[in-house]
A and B are shown apart, each in its own frame.
Chain A
Amino acid sequence: DAGVTQSPTHLIKTRGQQVTLRCSPKSGHDTVSWYQQALGQGPQFIFQYYEEEERQRGNFPDRFSGHQFPNYSSELNVNALLLGDSALYLCASSTDRGNEQFFGPGTRLTVL
């Protein structure tokens, strides 16, 4: 049983560029959440998708947007990248909000 997968593993971009990160949830999971984790900090909630809709959103600007596909996989898009967007981006899946989440290995984004 495959767990949560994310791609790419690492990514280097320059300021002002746009990036798309991808996530496939654990088999049987229909809810996907995205987090940003800066070095030495806990994960910060970006948003959650369920039934292809954004169900909940954290305190992140509109530059951060997402999408969920019918097969429950998800994308995170970040526009107009800033240096401060450099972080580990984590995807987590669950069977419903409020249940335990299972995390992918993350995508390390570096903005130069």
Chain B
Amino acid sequence: EDQVTQSPEALRLQEGESSSLNCSYTVSGLRGLFWYRQDPGKGPEFLFTLYSAGEEKEKERLKATLTKKESFLHITAPKPEDSATYLCAVFTSGTYKYIFGTGTRLKVLA
């Protein structure tokens, strides 16, 4: 069964304290892996798409990487405005469905 697991469930960081969020997946044919940011009560905001192992994407303080079994979202020198839930999703060529993880709730303290 296709599955996406994110860890940790919640993370508290001090401003400037870099860290990484993990998204591990077990799917029948990965066609794409997506990272989203979601603020409370709002729709997810698209961040990155990764298609193949070894691929990396960067945007401001965020960097996403992909291996054959997991993806990492690295946050460098985070600021309080980076506080949000970060969601990982995969699209599988086996079922042609998007499957989301449950997210990592990030809180960055000033």
Contact = CB atoms under 8 A, between A and B. Distances in A.
Interface of A: 4, 6, 33, 35, 40-45, 55-56, 58, 88, 90, 92, 97-106, 108
Nearest to B4: A42
28 contacts: A4-B43, A6-B43, A35-B100, A42-B4, A42-B100, A42-B101, A42-B103, A43-B44, A43-B87, A43-B100, A44-B100, A45-B98, A45-B99, A45-B100, A56-B96, A88-B41, A90-B44, A97-B96, A98-B31, A98-B96, A99-B49, A100-B32, A100-B34, A101-B98, A103-B36, A103-B43, A103-B46, A105-B42
Contact of A104 (B43, B97, B98, B100): B43
A90 B42 CA distance: 9
B39 to A, nearest CB: 10
Contacts of A90: 43-44
Contact of B46 (A33, A88, A101): A101
Contacts of B32: 98-100
B85 to A, nearest CB: 9
Contact of B98 (A33, A41, A106, A108): A33
Q: Interface on chain B toward A: helix, strand, loop, or mixed SS? A: strand
B25 interface: no
Nearest to A41: B102
A99 B34 CA distance: 9
Q: Name the residue among A56, A88, A101 with the largest chain B CB count within 10 angstroms.
A: A101
Contacts of B89: 42-43
A7 to B, nearest CB: 13
Range of interface residues on B (Cβ < 8 Å): 20 to 34
Interface string B88-107: 01010101111111110000
A101 B101 CA distance: 15
Given A43-B89, A56-B96, A108-B41, 9 more contacts: A44-B100, A45-B99, A45-B100, A98-B96, A99-B32, A100-B34, A101-B34, A101-B46, A105-B42
Given A97-B91, A98-B91, A45 B97 contact: yes
